[in-house]
Structure 1
Amino acid sequence: MKHFRQFEPFIALPHLIKWLPISFVVGILAGTASAALLVSLEWATDWRESHRWIIALLPLGGLLSGWIYHQFGQTVEAGNNLLLEEIHNPKSIIPFRMAPLVLLGTDLTHLFGGSAGREGTALQMGASLADQLTKILRFKGANRRILLTAGISGGFASVFGTPLAGTVFGLEVLAIGKINYDALFPSLIAAIVGNQVTLLLGLHHIAYLHSPSIPPLTILALIYAIIAGAIFGIVARFFAQITHKISHLFKTKISYPPMHPLMGGALIAIIVGLSGTTKYIGLGIPTIVDSFSTQLPPWDFAAKLGLTALTLGAGFKGGEVTPLFFIGATLGNTLSLLLALPVPLLAGMGFVGVFAGAANTPLASILMGIELFGLESGLFIAISCVVSYLFSGHSGIYTSQRIGLSKYSALYLEEGVTLANYGREKVKPKIDLPDDGKERGSKSI
C-alpha cells in the first residue's frame, strides 16, 4: 500500500478522462432545460402581469396541475426529495417524464399567480435528464450517484448563473455536515458547462447588486452580523416547518390530491385580490432588486413567506429558493432599521442567509453571495450563512435530506436519519455532557 500511493496520479487521470465528456453532456442537458425554463417563466410572468384577471382562475390552474400529476406523475410527485432518495437509496431510474411534467407544472403555477421559484424545477430537470444516461452507460452504485449529483449541480448553476455555488450545492445538499468529494470534478464541469449553455443561448441572469458598500469589520459590526444571521436562521426554520405543516394538513384533510392546489389556489387568489398587489406572487424579482436600494415595508418578507408556504404546501409546482431570496433580502432590508449596517449589505446577507438555513447549504450559499455580490462582502456573507445554518437547526425544505453529522458538538444524531424522521419518537438524540462524561438518550432509530 505504501508503494501504491505513488501511482495515484495514474488513477486520477482515468477518472478525469471518464467524467469529462459525461459531465459535458450533463451540463448541456441541464443548461438547455434551464434555458427553456427561464424563457417560459419570463413569458408566463409577463402574460400574467398584463392579464391579471387570470389570477382569479388560479384554483382551476391548480386543479389542472394537480390532475396532470395525479394521472401521469405520481412516481415523480416527490420532486427534489425523490432525487435525494435515489442518491442515498437507489431503486430505479428517474422517469424521463419528470422533466416535462415539472416544467409544465411550474409554468402553470407562475402563469395563474402562485408564489414559487424555479430552483426545484431546474434540479429535477437536470437530474432526471442526467439519469437517462444511466441506461446508456449502465451505471450503478457510486457512478449513478455521481451522475445524479452532477445533474443537480448543472441545474442549479445554470438557472442562477452561479457555477461555483452550483458545484458545491450538489455535493452539500445531500447530507447535513457531510460531503462526498468523489463527485466534485463532474459537478464542477456540469455546473460550468450548464451555465455557459444558458449564456450561449442568449439568456442573461439577474444582476441584483455588485460590490455593495462594505463597512469595516469591527467588533460591533461582527455582533450585528451575528444577530442578523440568527434571525435569518430562525425565519428559515419557520418557513420550512410551516410549509411542511400546510402540506400535511392538505394531505390529511383532503383525500383527492388534485383538490389540494384547487383549495390552496382559491385561498391565494382571495388573498391577492384583497391585497390589491401582485408583488408577493411569482418570483418577485422586482422587489428583490428594490430591496438593495429602497426601504421597503417591513411586512414584505412575512407576506411572501406566507403565500409561498401556502402555494408549495398546497401542491403547486416550483422551487423554494427564489422566494427564499425574496424573504431574505426583504428581511435584511427591514433589519437595517434596527442594525447599523448598510441596507444593500443586509439585503445581500439575507438573500443568501435565509437560503443557507433553509437548505442547510452554508458553503454553497457563501459562494453564491460572493459570485453575486462580490468578494468584498465575503466576510459578512459568510457570517450570515454560517450563523443562519446553526440557528435553523436540523430542519429544512428538503425532508429527504440526511443527517451526516450534527450541527452541534454537544448533540449526537444517528447518521443517515432523514429530516422527515428527525424529531419523531423513534429518533432519540444523545447529548454529550462533558462535565461528567455521561451521555443521555440513545443511538437507536
Structure 2
Amino acid sequence: MAKPKIFSDHFSILKYLLRWTVIIVPVAAAIGSAVALFLWLLSAAIHYRFGHPWLLYLLPVAGVAIHFAYRLYGSSAEKGNNLIIDEIHEPGAGVPKRMGPLILVTTVITHLFGGSAGREGTAVQMGGSMAHLFGTWFKLDSTQMRTLLTAGIAAGFGAVFGTPLTGTIFAMEVLTIGQIKYDALLPCLIAGLVGDVTVSAWGIKHTAYHIDDVSAGLHGNAGNTLMMLLLLVKIIVASAAFGLASMAFAQATHSVKKICTQWFKQGWMIPVCGGIVIIALTWIIGKPDYLSLGVEPEYPGAVTIVSAFTHNGAYFFSWFWKLIYTAITLGTGFKGGEVTPLFYIGATLGNTLAGILNAPVSLFAALGFIAVFAGATNTPLACTLMGIELFGAEYSLFFAVACFTAYIFSGKAGIYSSQRTGVSKSQSLTMVQPEEKIMSNTDAG
C-alpha cells in the first residue's frame, strides 16, 4: 500500500511545480522586462545629470511634482514596500495597478535631479504590483495571491541586482523577523531566476565588484591560525559597527519623516525643504559624491561604492554623509529604494574601519556592503547569500559572521515598518527556547 502513496505524493509535487511554473514564468518575465526598462531609464537619467549638474537646483521643484503625483494618483501606493508586505500578511485592499508605473517614473525623477536614493524599492514595488495584477487575471485565491506577491518580490529584487538566490531568500525572510516560511520557496526561486535571466536577455549589465585575495597566510600552521582568529575578531568588531550604522540609518529616516510631518502643515513644503537641504549640503561639502546612487563616478576621483573597495577610495566620514543625504531624501518624500545607499554606507564605512583596524580594505568594504543591508532589513541569511553571489564563496564564513553580527546589533526596528516579529533578537540569543518557556509557564501555573 505504501507504493501508491509514494507515487501519489510525487505526482502532487510534480503537479504543484508545473502549476506554479506556468503561473510564475510569464509574471517574472514581465517583471524582469519592467526592471530592465527601469535600469535603462535610471542610467540615462543619472548620466544626463552628470552632464547637466545645474539640474540639482530644481530638486525642490521635482519633489513638489512627486508629492502631487502621489496625492492625486497614488492612493495607497504611497506606502510602497510596506503595502506589499502588509498585503502578504493580511490580504485586503490589494496592491494598486498604478503603483508600478508611478514608482518607476518618480524614482527616475528623483535621480535625474540628484536625490540620494536606491532602486530596490522601485523593483520590489513594480514586482508586487505586476504580480497582483496577474493574480487577479488568474483568479487566484488569497493564499495563492500571497505566494505570487512573495514571488513578485523575489523577481524584482533578483532582477535589479542580478542576484536570483538572494532575491529568493530575501522575499521570504523580509516578511517576518527571525522566521522564514518555506511554503513559497519554489515559486520564489523560479521567479528570481526568470527575472534575472530576463534582465540579462535585454542586455542590461550589473556592476562587478572584486575582493583582493587575502587568503594567503590564513591557512596552515599555528601562527597562521592566530592570524585567522585575529581577523575574525576584527570582523566581529567592524560588524557591530555595521549593525549600529543600520540602526542609525533606520532611525534617521523615520525621524526625518516624523519631524517634517510635525513641522509642516502643507505637505508639499516637505520635499521643498528636503531639496533645499540637499542643495545646501552639496554646496557646503563642495562635491556631488553623495547624490543619487553612488555607483558610478560623476568625475575622476569621486567616492563611489566601487572606489570604496580600494585604498584611499573613501573619506573618513563618507558613510556618514551618505546616511544623512539618503535619510533626508527619502524622509522628505522623494522616491527610490534604500538598499543601494545602504551598500554605499556599508562599503565606505568598511573602508574606514579597515584603516582603523589594519584590515584588508576590499574585504571590509564587501562585508560592510552586505552587513549594513542585513541589519537595516533584518535579512542576514539573504545578505550572506548576496555576498556569495556578488563576491564569490571563498569568504562565505566571513560574510555570515558579518551579516548575523550586524543583524543582532541593529536593534529592534528596520527600514520596513510592516515587518512582523516572529522571534525577537533578544529571544534568539537566550538559552531557553520559546517552547520551553511555554512549558515552564504552564508548570508554574
Q: TM-score, normalised by structure 1?
A: 0.90
Quote the residue 1:317 is aligned against.
335
Aligned twin of 2:54: 53
Aligned pair 1:282/2:282, yes or no?
Answer: no
SS in 1 for 2:336: coil
Query: Could you tell me which residue of structure 1 aligns to residue 125 of structure 2?
Result: 124
Give the direction of change, closer, same or farther, for the CA distance of 1:2–1:254 in structure 2 (3 Å limit).
farther
Cα distance change, pair 124–212 in 1 and its aligned pair in 2 (3 A): farther
Higher percent of residues as helix: 2
Show the counterpart of 2:392. Answer: 374
Checking the alignment, whether the CA contact within 8 Å between 2:349 and 2:365 is kept in structure 1 is yes
Q: Distance in 2 between matches of 1:438 and 1:135?
A: 46
Flag the 1:252–1:214 CA change in 2: closer, same or farther, 3 A. farther
Counterparts in 2 of 1:410 and 1:12: CA distance versus 1, 3 Å:
closer
Question: Hey, what's the Cα distance between the residues in 2 that align with 1:211 and 1:267?
Answer: 38
Task: Report what 2:373 is aligned to.
Answer: 355
Task: Report the equivalent of 1:398.
Answer: 416
Cα pair distance change 1:98/1:306, threshold 3 Å: same
What secondary structure is seen at the aligned counterpart in 1 of 2:335?
coil
CA distance in 2, matches of 1:153, 1:265: 32
Q: CA separation in 1, counterparts of 2:106 and 2:401?
A: 36
Task: Tell me, in whole angstroms, the C-alpha distance in 1 between the residues paired with 2:213 and 2:181.
Answer: 34
Q: CA RMSD in A?
A: 2.1
In the superposition, relative to structure 1, how do residues 64 and 153 fare at CA in structure 2: closer, same or farther (>3 Å)?
Answer: same
Deviation of the 1:411 alpha carbon = 7.8
Q: Does 1:258 align with 2:268?
A: yes
Instruction: Give the aligned partner of residue 267 of structure 1.
Output: 277
Cα distance in structure 1, aligned partners of 2:281 and 2:171: 36
Structure 1 position 292, deviation (Å): 0.6
Q: Which runs of 5+ in 2 are unaligned?
A: 219-224, 297-303
Match of 1:70 in 2: 71
> What is the CA distance between 1:10 and its match in structure 2?
2.2
Answering whether residue 174 of structure 2 is matched by residue 164 of structure 1, we say no
Which whole-Å CA distance do the structure 2 matches of 1:150 and 1:207 have between them? 26
Aligned to 1:421: none
Partners of 1:210 and 1:14 in 2: CA distance: 43
Q: State the secondary structure of the residue aligned to 1:291.
A: helix
Partner in structure 1 of residue 116 of structure 2: 115
- Quote the offset at 1:334 in angstroms: 0.3
Equivalent residues of 1:210, 1:372 under 8 A apart: no
How far 1:9 moved relative to its partner? 1.8
Whole-Å Cα distance in 1 between the matches of residues 324 and 409 of structure 2? 20
| Structure 1 residues 202 and 410, CA gap change in structure 2 (3 angstroms) | closer
Q: Relative to structure 1, is the Cα distance of residues 188 and 106 closer, same or farther in structure 2, using a 3 angstrom cutoff? A: same
Say which is worse superposed, 250-259 or 219-228, in terms of deviation: 250-259
- Structure 2 residue matching 1:244: 3-state secondary structure: helix
Paired amino acid for 1:289: V
| 3-state SS of paired residue (2:96) | coil
Report the counterpart of residue 423 of structure 1 in structure 2: none
Residue type matched to 2:294 in 1? G
Letter of the 1:223 counterpart: V
**Which consecutive aligned stretches of 4+ in structure 1 deviate over 6 angstroms post-superposition?**
1-5
Q: Distance in 2 between matches of 1:136 and 1:2?
A: 39
For 2:427, the equivalent position in structure 1 comes to: 409
Write the distance in 2 (CA, Å) between the matches of 1:93 and 1:409. 33
Q: Equivalent of 2:317, from 299, 306, 328?
A: 299
Q: What is the deviation of 1:4?
A: 9.1
Contact kept in structure 2, 1:41 and 1:107, CA below 8 Å: yes
**1:26 and 1:150 in contact (8 A); partners too:** no
Q: What residue is the counterpart of 2:221 in the other structure?
A: none
* Partner Cα separation in structure 1 for residue 152 and residue 86 of structure 2: 15
